[in-house]
Structure 1
């Protein structure tokens, strides 16, 4: 076999396991495997998890925070300054920044990515063309799904409707949308569903990104999802507005979302940075109610959204650090909550992205990360070093370091 991992911890409180890997697949999980292998990795009780899944990111506008800063920290200025910058992006510029960002993700143990690639009549398909090229170039390091994303609106920016069809013909994997940034949110949603039906593709919306609940359309999205036969094929990012709803208004919406099997990508770094800018005191968290959604049966994911741009002027591509931030923000640090966080950056987004052969089980793809932690429960709060990253049965990242503490 190609790789044999000895004495790894794959479940809290369970016996350590050996994991055998051959031809890109997990071929054995046992208490003790005695076999020849091209490489033996001694885990020594360290935690082994499936590869991290970054379910919502913008590669094409990463690493531009220093070019035209968002001084107010508001969503409106973030959209405006980014809109000013986009026509200046060249293919080489986008390639350089997106490649650097992908390298960050790979180094930190991300093996699967869904990225939203935007286009509009002013910039054309410059960014999308590059992202589609990088999807192929990085396929041995990270699997990339590309979302056709109309950031400036579909009807608000004339000509974008035609470009949405062209983007799908170019090879986008998912139909995206941003209902709150268009002339009519419901017409925007209707268009997205019609396009998704035509190409038989999933849907991923930037949804209800506001501090208050007025004008929320997630209930319409849920109803549309059920009516159009898209149950289990719709994801939404942000969804901050429902955090402003009283419980009696929120619970029926969560129930409808659960029925529609809509996945939610919480984006805590961006939403904390941009939200509640007009609150003078007792400033709101402006993050979707993770616990309430989780408890209501909704498939909850945690994702990054942006790295060092006008929407999020920080970040290093470490999804575990993002999840760590979500723990205090979402009140997820309790004994009954902490163990639910790791799945929000692994198995839950894998479900949302409909990943086949994902997870630590015989026959699945060997996409794994060995952590410098000895507790599955504490794997997030340890923010551990990624000791090994294995993608499709090959070691892609190996961390070697020496730490000396002097008495």
Structure 2
């Protein structure tokens, strides 16, 4: 054995467990397997979870808020501000900003990231190329999937389709889409078809920004059914994810249930992005301001695979964040009427096991023999309180090796008795 985690809390209703690791894999999970190793960590009853997964993160656009904020706080404003800033991107500044967030994410217990660098005539393939380099630089610390993402649209920005194909030829792992960012509904449909065509051509999954509005009054923000139809027709069940999907919450109940049933039947996953969605949503509402988050409980009840993610960190789309998925999970719970042990366990699952399904790594993910040894030792000793306690990530383990530690000690002074 290479490493053993002793006295780990995996469940609140089960005894403490030892986790034995060799060759980057978990080889035994038992109360007392009788193993020894040159490196052992006594968890002392602290909770151990699988590595967290950022299933939707824009590393190339991170930390831009210090350069130019989004004054009107709208989605259109965020796209405009970022489009202006992209004109001055260099490989050096994209690499520096992206690296800072990657390292924050690792320290916060993230062991896999699906990143969405922009691909368009403004910035070309700069973001993709930088992230291809970072994928190698951080190999062994975090797994980085790269999505070729057409933020500016495909037909709205001529030349983008050819750039997307080139990005996939260079090594991007996923084809992205921004389904709503075209000038007409017909072009939105053509955008979706083009994304699926590229997915078929290169044999890659699709990850599409869709239905990102307060409601579906504009049909460009009610494309989930069309995407589900394409997923079925192209036989891509389990390989399509949709980010944002905020307009779902504004649709009539019967209509929403019908759409969610289609997504579930088609095997399309949904990834709410609460920090961004709350910030940009409801800007025109003078009263009863809409929350702007996809209806998580409805998604669960419909059987739709769900994850959540940070989306953006400190830029025009989201002017805050630290790439901390447990913070984002607590925000999602607080704003989605989710509470109690069962709900909070499902929210945590959205950043672990469900996120693994979304990014296609569930086959060797988890805490059982044969799984990759990607683990996080938390400072809390109660699984039900993982989100509530905002625990330290005491040890972050990637492929059986400790890659980050957090040690914090709080000492209270003796009370004074005047």
- TM-score, scaled to structure 1: 0.99
1:396 corresponds to which residue?
403
| Unpaired runs of at least 5, structure 2 | none
1:202 to 186, 202, 205: 205
Match of 1:228 among 216, 224, 234: 234
Kindly indicate whether the alpha-carbon contact (under 8 Å) linking 2:341 and 2:384 is maintained by their aligned counterparts in 1: no
Q: Distance in 2 between matches of 1:129 and 1:138?
A: 15
Report the CA distance between 1:36 and its aligned residue: 2.4
Aligned partner of residue 175 in structure 1, secondary structure:
strand
Q: Cα RMSD between the aligned structures?
A: 0.9
The alpha-carbon deviation at position 335 of structure 1 amounts to: 4.4
Larger CA deviation: 381-390 vs 326-335: 326-335
Task: State the alpha-carbon separation in 2 of the partners of residues 90 and 206 from structure 1.
Answer: 25
Q: 2:192 aligns with which of 175, 189, 195?
A: 189
Q: Is 1:173 aligned to 2:173, yes or no?
A: yes
Secondary structure of the equivalent of 2:340? coil
Residue 18 of structure 2 corresponds to: 18
- Please report how far the alpha carbon of residue 12 of structure 1 lies from its aligned counterpart in structure 2 after TM superposition: 2.4
1:212 aligns with 2:215: yes
**Pair 1:361 & 2:368 matched:** yes
Corresponding residue number in structure 2 for 1:304: 310
Q: Cα distance, 1:397 vs. partner? A: 0.9
Contact residue 83 and residue 122 of structure 2 kept, 8 A: no
Q: Given that residues 65 and 319 in structure 2 are in contact (C-alpha distance below 8 angstroms), is that contact kept between their aligned partners in structure 1?
A: yes
The two structures have a TM-score, normalised by structure 2, of 0.96
Other-structure match for 2:71: 71
- Helix, strand or coil at the partner of 1:339: helix
CA offsets per residue over residues 85-125 of structure 1, 9 Å max, x none? 00101100001000001000000000000000112112211
Residue of structure 2 in register with 1:260 after alignment: 266
2:376 aligned counterpart, secondary structure: strand
Q: 1:317, 1:338 → 2: CA distance?
A: 19
Displaced runs of 4 or more, over 2 A: 33-36
- 1:37-94: CA deviation from partner (whole Å, max 9, x where unpaired): 1111111111100000000000000001011111111111100010000010110000
Structure-to-structure mapping, 1:118-129, within 5 angstroms: 118-129=118-129
Are 1:158 and 2:158 counterparts?
Answer: yes
Per the alignment, in what secondary structure is the counterpart of residue 252 of structure 1? helix
For structure 1, the 5+ residue unaligned runs are none
CA–CA distance in 1 between the matches of 2:355 and 2:116? 15
1:130 is aligned to: 130
Question: What SS does the corresponding residue of 1:28 show, helix, strand or coil?
Answer: strand
